Amino acid sequence: MPQDGTQAAGAAGQQPRITLVDVSLRDGSHAVGHQFTSDQVARVAAALDRARVPVFEVSHGDGLGGSSLQYGFSREPDMEWLRAAVQNAPNTRVSVLLLPGIGTRRELRQAVELGATVARIATHCTEADIAPQHIALAREMGMTVCGFLMMAHMLPPAELARQARIMEDAGAHVVYVVDSAGALLVEEARERVQALRDALQCEVGFHGHNNLGLGVANTIAALEAGATWLDGSLCGLGAGAGNTQLEVLAAVLDRMGIDTGVDVYGAMDAAEEVVKPILPRPIVIDRDALVIGYAGVYSSFLLHARRAAERFGVEARDILMELGRRRTVGGQEDQIIQVAYELAQRSGARTGP
């Protein structure tokens, strides 16, 4: 097995090891408006460590450096969150997310100095060619590196595999199919993971959202197609209708006889006793979250759309459907205000605060 902790794909006679990754403290940042405190991060990190979750991710919802007017200001710097996480999880590997153009190499180096050992370099699914320098740097610093192809429903499987090869060639140990909109149907998730598995030598991961209620089902389909890194979050805490619910996924995998090393009871307790009390609202598939999956819109747009809907006196689902028609992607949050304004103009609704 490679020293970085990943497992070579297709090793003869070996059962692939499944790595569960919790994203409550990164994707969950979207759901709380990036208002985590270091104390909350510390408590969640300690609970994940007790539950023997092998990897969890900490950063602004849009990755290192994401705290901004465009994406939403964090209550505290994400380096403070990272410090709290590492100090309270001595047995668990801590990951950070970086989107080239938002996060920088300087912030990646700071994360390593604070104890992060996994880097996930994320791009839109058509833009893998902007990731190689960050992937290479993370490898130079000894990190396990994951390429993260967001909004994967927007590319057919063969095209997605071509993008994935760019990340593998740059040095990624794992490349992810990322269902950022929670828009993939079960067979669509399976096909995309299978395409990557057929095209790559490195490991393949899957990151799901639950906007169509398919988070666990899609993740199991991804597993069956060859994915060995699987994401989830406690209580499903994440953008939109949340991520694949980690404690549920751990229980399902245990029922399937798949050893993930996770303490299922510990994951249940972490969700119920630590994460649930800090939820600003229940993570459910309500009308707006469902529209995100139905329209294929970036899950993190949900809170932005709700705020714009209130400001301009229009419906959030109308904003989201129009964003879907325009095929907007992460980084185009400014379009949310533009669409809300245009809808208000058409309907005669108010156009100011």
Same domain, 197 and 323: no
Q: Residue 7 has what pLDDT?
A: 55
Q: Which of 233, 248, 278 is the last residue of a domain?
A: 278
Look at residues 311, 305, 239, 234 and name the one whose alpha carbon lies nearest to residue 275: 234
228 lies in a domain?
yes
* Mean pLDDT along residues 224-229: 98
CATH number (domain holding residue 50)? 3.20.20.70
Among 246, 278, 310, identify where a domain stops: 278
Q: What is the pLDDT of residue 15?
A: 65
Query: What integer is the mean pLDDT of 209-226?
Result: 97
Token digits for 219? Answer: 């993740």
202 and 70, same domain (yes or no): yes
Is 207 among the catalytic positions?
Answer: no
Q: What domain range includes position 340?
A: 300-347
Which carries the bigger pLDDT value, residue 308 or residue 9? 308
For residues 172 and 202, give the distance between their C-alpha atoms in angstroms, rounded to a whole number.
7
Domain holding 313: CATH number? 1.10.8.60
Calculate mean pLDDT across residues 110-139.
97
| Given the residues 30, 34, 124, 207, the one annotated as active site | 30
> What is the phi/psi pair of residue 39, to 5°?
-65, -40
The pLDDT of residue 352 is above 70:
no
CA distance 74 to 82: 13
pLDDT at 62 over 50: yes
Closest among 5, 54, 6, 55 to 26, alpha carbons compared? 55
With a pLDDT cut of 90, the percent of the chain lying above it is 70
- The answer to whether residue 9 sits within a structural domain is no
Q: 3-state DSSP call for residue 59?
A: coil
